Amino acid sequence: MTVTLDLLRIQQLQISKVFQDNSKEITSADFDDEGKLCITASADDSINLYDSTRGISQKLLFSKKYGAHPIRFTHSPTTILHGSTKRDITENKYLSYFRGHDGRVVSMAMSPVDDTFISSAIDDSIIIWDFKAPSPQGRVYVGKGRPSVSFDPTGMIFASAIQQDNKVRLYDLRNFDKGPFTQFIIIDPYLSAYSYPRPGTQMPTWTGIKFSNDEKHILISTSGDQHYLIDAFSGELKRRLVGHVGLGDTINGYGGDDTCFTPNGAFVISGSQDGLINIWDINTSTVLQSDLRPCKQLEGHTKPTQVVQFNPRYMCMISACHEMVFWEPMPPGTTSDSSNTDATTSNNQESANNNNFSNEDSNSSSASVKQEPLSNESIISNINNKKLL
């Protein structure tokens, strides 16, 4: 059965699983292409793999020498990429290293169509990589600051966002060496009143950039009390997303996965300093540059939520602080028996060493989002690391 992701399903989201696998905050997460696996990275240098169709912890890895942030699946469900949070590299136990940055990697995006990926670091640069080759395929210099990067849904265009000059730059992947083919200057009309005569200088740190799957919008996430929704073609500021509490210094150099679009591009989801999960229906207002408040706020965390991700294929999402929470829509009056954290923790311990699994015995209540149900198959979860330095 296929299910449409609409406001009713958003209103019905409830906690279905809670995992307490980390001693420090989870800073990054990603689903694989099929939506069956979810990977997380934490400030405690651990990497956790979850079966998102059955809601079980599948495997625990450590990256003590290197740290891990950000983290991304490749197009293979058995291979991941992650950046380094540390510079003391003394051992080589990874399949591949991608050396090229001189500063800390803060953003990374995998092409939706092939093995190209891009990374940005606090070294004024963006590097274009081919997953099959350890050497950079190209480099773009964007100036000082904290650049964020993302691919558009076609994989032909990538974007960078950097708050220090308030610019979003769009590059043609085939001609990136010629510079951006267009760029947008983003000015917050409210904050501009406080930054005269230099509009934009009071903007909070930009922590991420994302395209909606319908190619209509670009989302700029920030560490402050507002995120920005802009038109993907004109660069016009369409909405200020407000009503949450900005993560501020909680991000501590991480960030980037604290917001996301839903797969249909109709909703934006964000974490918050107060632990609430905030959801905006971005199609409810037609007034440009207006403030838009959440249509739904979910309670489930007592600490700041730095990570939110919606499954690309199934009707579920995850959010994370120190704890990892799975959410699914449930009819009014029903609750999940898996919200018992003691039982969930026990389930984690029992399944942590299980490296093989099959969907054939899955009893997941998730339904695919505007997609035909996936066929059953067996996946070996011996996740192979590839590391970005």
d(CA 52, CA 328): 11
Q: What is the pTM of this model?
A: 0.81
Identify the pLDDT of residue 336. 55
Domains of the chain: 15-336 (2.130.10.10)
Pairwise CA distance, residues 107 & 121, whole Å: 7
Over residues 87-122, the pLDDT tens digits come to 433 333 454 667 778 777 888 899 999 999 999 888
Name the amino acid, one letter, at 381: S
Would you state the structure tokens that stand for residue 365, as one six-digit string?
A: 């209540």
Model confidence over 54-78: pLDDT tens digits? 899 999 888 877 777 788 998 988 8
SS3 at position 387:
strand
Cβ pair 69, 83 in contact under 8 A: yes
The residue written with tokens 């979003």 in the block is 168
pLDDT value at position 250? 56
- Tokens 């912890």 sit at which residue? 57
pLDDT score, position 339: 39
Two structure tokens written together for 108? 């990374």
Beta carbons within 10 angstroms of residue 277's beta carbon: 23
Stretch (H or E) spanning 347: helix 341-351
> 242, 293 in Cβ contact below 8 A?
yes
d(CA 370, CA 388): 34
Q: Show the 3-state SS of 47-78.
A: EEEEECCCCEEEEEEECCCCCCCCEEECCCCC
- The pLDDT of residue 275: 95
Q: What pLDDT does residue 195 have? A: 58
Peptide bond into 189 cis (omega under 30): no
Instruction: Name beta bridge partners: 45.
Output: none
Note the pLDDT of residue 105.
83
pLDDT in tens, the chain (389 residues): 677 899 999 999 999 999 999 999 999 999 999 999 999 999 898 899 999 988 999 998 888 777 777 889 989 888 888 877 644 333 334 546 677 787 778 888 999 999 999 998 888 889 999 888 878 899 998 888 889 999 999 999 999 999 888 999 999 999 999 999 999 999 998 887 665 555 555 688 899 999 999 999 999 999 999 999 999 999 999 999 999 999 986 555 567 899 999 999 999 999 999 999 999 999 886 677 689 999 999 999 999 999 999 999 999 999 999 999 999 998 766 655 443 333 333 344 333 333 332 233 333 333 333 333 322 222 222 334 443 43
